Chains A and B, each alone.
Chain A
Amino acid sequence: MRFEYAPAPESRSIVRLRDSYGLFIGGSFVSGSSVFKTISPATEEVLAEVTLGGVEDVDSAVAAARHAYERTWSVMPGRERGKYLFRIARLLAERAREFAVVETLDNGKPIRESRDVDVPLASAHFFYHAGWADKLGYAGFGPSPRPLGVAGQVIPWNFPLLMLAWKIAPALACGNTVVLKPAETTPLTAMLFADVCQQADLPPGVVNIVTGDGGTGRLLAGHPGIDKIAFTGSTEVGKEIARQCAVSGQRLTLELGGKAANIVFDDAPVDQAVEGIINGIFFNQGHVCCAGSRLLVAEPALDPLLDALKRRMESLRLGDPMDKNTDVGAINSRAQLDKIQSLAALGEEDGAVRWSARCPLPDRGFWFPPTLFTEVSSSSPISREEIFGPVLAVTTFRTPAEAVAKANATPYGLSAGVWTSKGSLALEMASRLRAGVVWANTFNRFDPASPFGGYKESGFGREGGRHGLEAYLDVVATDVAGTLGASDV
């Protein structure tokens, strides 16, 4: 019997978006000189007007952060900083539905994901780092590590709130103040977060948020008043920032692109592997830097696996991201859709065979069906370039050594997946894959306690876990100020 789920849209009534948003500088919203609009990629409806941060705006945000760093935050005992972080974490959890709705409206990702993944994880990151704030002396960076100062942080549009949390939580826990630049197409949850900072009575200037486009990001990353730059985004922009920092001497961490291999052996738990492949490449429409975009299958397992995978892809529900039963949402922007379409077309020209799930695409908004390519040559752009969309390249291998060689044959090295029922093989593969994260019999699992970051052109530095603290700390041998780390416990 046909069993169609009736529409089950999450209500927007919990959210009152303002018509326009200023910049969050020195603890209050201030207006700027020019504005731009942010739209919902699922409907192309204008959601709000947002301020485009210019030179003076960035200057004043950095000045506010410097002031707060010197007067308040760096001299505050760790346990007091921790209280603010705990408060923010709780507020995020309390206002989870509101954040989920705004994230889905602005980004286009399914409400199921923003509700079950993005928002709870963002809150968890604040909880986790709140706990570190008064224990930094025990983190392995000397008895009294020091904060760096003002951090300039530029984040992408794929996980707007979660990336904000990954950046702000450790920076604040370690005693730094921040100026954050959200992505141009997804500024709204950052604006809502500014509201949370006010609600938590966070001292003014500790968190500053300057919205804008790539130009604003460039102004922030190149600002001489910044001690540390943290960037998550494309490898191209990352390289530009790295060149700049090589001259300025500012500290830098980069989390860039990826082209992860998801390796399936013939003894894999097939049904779970299929779910892992689906989750690896279609989670968040494939807008995931660690997405498992290259599927490497042991040759004998290929045909049954492809059958099962295609069958499963047909059951994916693409459509209104606000519907609680939607699995695949909208592509984040027209520009990104163009990029995905042109790379997919290049793949076809190159001789790869394209197969897409038969799902009707809505008339308005930006959409791309879940797609896989078979008979992909290893030189094809489909298997080389980061598509950042719901497109999977399928190839085969014969031996574990060949799987390792193929998986590592990429300029990137962010993540990898291994599917096998044999524990020793999973461990052996993990030790030979050059990737910052290797998942065994799962994919796209994140936890604040687990360090995340890349090899090679996927960047450097780690976020999360004890290791992630290093990105926001200076190791010093003696406790000069007597205000941080172990001394105040």
Chain B
Amino acid sequence: MDVTSSDSALRGFLHGLPGVDEVGARARAEELARRSVKADAKRLALDLAISMIDLTTLEGQDTPGKVQAMCAKARQPGYGAPPVAAVCVYPDLVPLCVAAVKGSPVRVASVATAFPSGRAALDVKLADVKSAVAAGADEIDMVIDRGAFLSGRYLAVSEEVAAVKAACGDAHLKVILETGELGTLDGVRRASWLAMLSGADFIKTSTGKVAPAATLPVTLVMLEAVRDFARFDGGRRVGVKAAGGIRTAKDAFRYLVLVNEVAGEEWLDPRYFRLGASSLLNDLLMQRVRMEAGRYSGPDYMTVD
């Protein structure tokens, strides 16, 4: 039986998933956060983290100038660092980004579906997605209807994700769970499975507009979900994107350790793990410069864009 066929089938399936003990999950995330990443491991982790960044700006005050500068930095972060995975912007800025990153491996991601609240009619959301795809977005970051999820209308959430997936065409679909609004880690696990069952290529923690955004325990639970979904009958390998609040190289390493030890090394790849961030890149670059030069520089030596 297809578990996404009805509300009751979905409810039965999602509520049949093993529960999450919050205290235990937090303790495990804390334990992994104490791993020590030094020397060669640090060198590798710095470049890996850079290559996993979705360099993001999602502000009402975004201008072509700002976005162009960000795209330039995404292609060439400088200091010998590899390009980032993607740039992430609002739909109206997609054409500009497509032109700016042309000829580089950097992909263009666009938020859509009435981001960040998701409060619009389905046809409006789909139009939002289609316009971004038509403008050349390689990846779509949609938000789920948290109101529907929290009131137990799982089928509505599932159908919406499936409809957006269909509207995406070849573009990759990242489904934002906005875990800061879900309240429990049980909710995070259920939302993760719901999104994966409905066609998500990626599950993403947050919009960055709600606090708390990405946290280690939430990401731990999502990584467990993608790991289990890959082994699940009819499952596949889904990616995870941690977004919001990841600012330092040390933060980024903690996420990489989590990916490594929870989901496994198969996920240590920009195709399966992303970090949605803006200021993180400069801290990674600063650490990179320090590794090369043997001493710290300072924020004044990093470019502002």
Interface residues of A (CB under 8 A from B): 1-8, 112, 116, 267-272, 275-276, 315, 324-325, 421, 441-442
Q: Would you list which residues of chain B between 40 and 62 have a CB under 8 Å from chain A?
A: 40-42, 44-45, 48
A275 & B24 in contact (Cβ 8 Å cutoff): yes
Interface segment, B31-39, B146-154, B205-213, B290-298?
Answer: B31-39
A5 & B36 in contact (Cβ 8 Å cutoff): yes
B269 & A441 in contact (Cβ 8 Å cutoff): no
Which one, A1, A6, A112, A269, contacts B21 given CB within 8 A?
A: A269
Q: Does B256 belong to the interface (CB within 8 Å)?
A: yes
Given A112-B34, A315-B261, A324-B36: A1 and B18 within 8 A (CB)? no
B269 & A1 in contact (Cβ 8 Å cutoff): yes
A271 & B36 in contact (Cβ 8 Å cutoff): no
Closest to B261 in A: A315
Q: Kindly provide the distance from the CB of B249 to the nearest chain A CB, expressed in whole angstroms.
A: 15
Given A112-B34, A271-B25, A325-B35: A3 and B44 within 8 A (CB)? yes
Give a binary string over B1-38; 1 marks a CB under 8 Å from any A CB, 0 the rest: 00000000000000000111101110110000011111
Task: Give the chain A neighbours of B170 by CB distance below 8 A.
Answer: none
Interface residues of B (CB under 8 A from A): 18-21, 23-25, 27-28, 34-42, 44-45, 48, 224, 256, 260-261, 265, 268-269
A275 & B28 in contact (Cβ 8 Å cutoff): yes
B18 & A268 in contact (Cβ 8 Å cutoff): yes
Of the A-B pairs whose beta carbons lie under 8 Å apart in the complex, a sample of 7, sorted by A's number, is A5-B35, A7-B38, A8-B38, A269-B19, A272-B20, A272-B21, A421-B19
Given A268-B18, A271-B18: A3 and B23 within 8 A (CB)? no
Task: Give the chain B neighbours of A267 by CB distance below 8 A.
Answer: 18-19
Task: Give the chain B neighbours of A6 by CB distance below 8 A.
Answer: 37-42
Interface pairs A-B: 3 shortest CB-CB:
A272-B24, A8-B36, A269-B21
A1–B256 CA distance with the chains assembled, in angstroms: 11
Which one, A112, A116, A272, contacts B28 given CB within 8 A?
A: A272
Given A3-B48, A267-B19, A315-B261: A272 and B268 within 8 A (CB)? no
A441–B20 CA distance with the chains assembled, in angstroms: 10
Given A269-B19, A271-B224, A324-B36: A3 and B41 within 8 A (CB)? yes
Closest to B51 in A: A1
B48 & A1 in contact (Cβ 8 Å cutoff): yes
A275–B23 CA distance with the chains assembled, in angstroms: 12
A269 & B24 in contact (Cβ 8 Å cutoff): yes
A5 & B41 in contact (Cβ 8 Å cutoff): yes
Given A1-B268, A272-B20: A116 and B34 within 8 A (CB)? yes
Task: Give the chain A neighbours of B24 by CB distance below 8 A.
Answer: 269, 271-272, 275-276, 441-442
Task: Give the chain A neighbours of B37 by CB distance below 8 A.
Answer: 5-6, 8
A39–B208 CA distance with the chains assembled, in angstroms: 53
Task: Give the chain B neighbours of A270 by CB distance below 8 A.
Answer: 18
A4–B44 CA distance with the chains assembled, in angstroms: 9
A270–B21 CA distance with the chains assembled, in angstroms: 9
B18 & A3 in contact (Cβ 8 Å cutoff): no
Closest to B42 in A: A6
A268–B268 CA distance with the chains assembled, in angstroms: 29
Task: Give the chain B neighbours of A4 by CB distance below 8 A.
Answer: 40-41
* Most chain B CB neighbours (cut-off 10 Å) among A6, A116, A271: A271
Task: Give the chain B neighbours of A441 by CB distance below 8 A.
Answer: 21, 23-24
A4–B18 CA distance with the chains assembled, in angstroms: 31
A325–B27 CA distance with the chains assembled, in angstroms: 16
Task: Give the chain B neighbours of A421 by CB distance below 8 A.
Answer: 19, 21
Closest to A275 in B: B28
A461–B48 CA distance with the chains assembled, in angstroms: 54
A116–B268 CA distance with the chains assembled, in angstroms: 28
Q: Kindly provide the distance from the CB of A257 to the nearest chain B CB, expressed in whole angstroms.
A: 27
Task: Give the chain B neighbours of A7 by CB distance below 8 A.
Answer: 38-39
* Most chain A CB neighbours (cut-off 10 Å) among B21, B23, B34, B269: B21
A289–B238 CA distance with the chains assembled, in angstroms: 42
Q: Kindly provide the distance from the CB of A254 to the nearest chain B CB, expressed in whole angstroms.
A: 31
A268–B44 CA distance with the chains assembled, in angstroms: 37
